[in-house]
Amino acid sequence: MHTQYSITLEKNKTKTVLAITANDAGHAQAQSRDIARALRADRFELLYEEAKETGLSRLFKKLAYNEFDHKTCELWEEGSVNGVPVTYMLNNRFYVRPVVLDYLDITREEVVSPLCGNKMCVNPYHNKYKATRASKLSGADMNLALAFSSQGVPVKEIAKVLKVHRSTIYRILNK
């Protein structure tokens, strides 16, 4: 059985209330910490009362219950800037995909973009990670190239496996 809670988030004396759905008080407390971290709130307070559900609270609920699958895009319907999903809260603009990574406590040293090609998709299974926007390879692909190279695999073969030009592999290896 799911219970409705709410969380009051505060940053720089600005407050906002967000709805939370949880199994019990412990689950609600854990979600509150994750949400506060993701939204970089200075402090939060968990309240045992219902609040109006928003697109962001629905997204956090889906994340808490892992209601995503690998096939279906989860389209963000709240707002966007240049076709990229955003939300406004605590007098800040938050890009939704990095908020998802922060909620899941995944480091985001790289650029996050949708693997499915749909700019409004916020499904965490559809994310791809690259070192820079112009990068041809993800961080995992770069590590794979380094592993292949350390095993003596020729650059031409590494490039073929990763579907990039061999000059891309040479640049990675020279770093």
In the chain (175 residues long), the average pLDDT of successive 10-residue segments reads 90 94 92 94 93 93 91 92 93 92 76 83 83 67 83 89 86 82
Q: 79: closest CA among 62, 93, 63, 100?
A: 93
- 103 and 38 in contact (C-beta within 8 Å)? yes
Give the pLDDT confidence score for residue 131 in this predicted structure: 62
Q: Look up residue 152 and give its two tokens.
A: 């003596």
For residues 167 and 74, give the distance between their C-alpha atoms in angstroms, rounded to a whole number. Answer: 36
Dump strand ranges (E) for 12-146. 14-22, 43-47, 80-81, 84-89, 92-95, 111-114, 127-130
- 59 and 100 in contact (C-beta within 8 Å)? yes
For residues 169 and 175, give the distance between their C-alpha atoms in angstroms, rounded to a whole number. Answer: 10
Give the pLDDT confidence score for residue 108 in this predicted structure: 62
Name, in order, each residue with C-beta under 8 angstroms of 139's C-beta and a sequence gap of 6 or more: 109, 110, 129, 130, 131
The pTM for the full model equals: 0.73
For residues 169 and 155, give the distance between their C-alpha atoms in angstroms, rounded to a whole number. Answer: 7
Q: Look up residue 29 and give its two tokens.
A: 């407390």
The alpha carbon of residue 80 and the mean position of all alpha carbons in its chain are separated, in whole angstroms, by 16
The alpha carbon of residue 12 and the mean position of all alpha carbons in its chain are separated, in whole angstroms, by 24
For residues 4 and 21, give the distance between their C-alpha atoms in angstroms, rounded to a whole number. Answer: 5
Q: Look up residue 157 and give its two tokens.
A: 């073969």
Domains of the chain, earliest start first: 3-130 (no CATH), 139-174 (1.10.10)
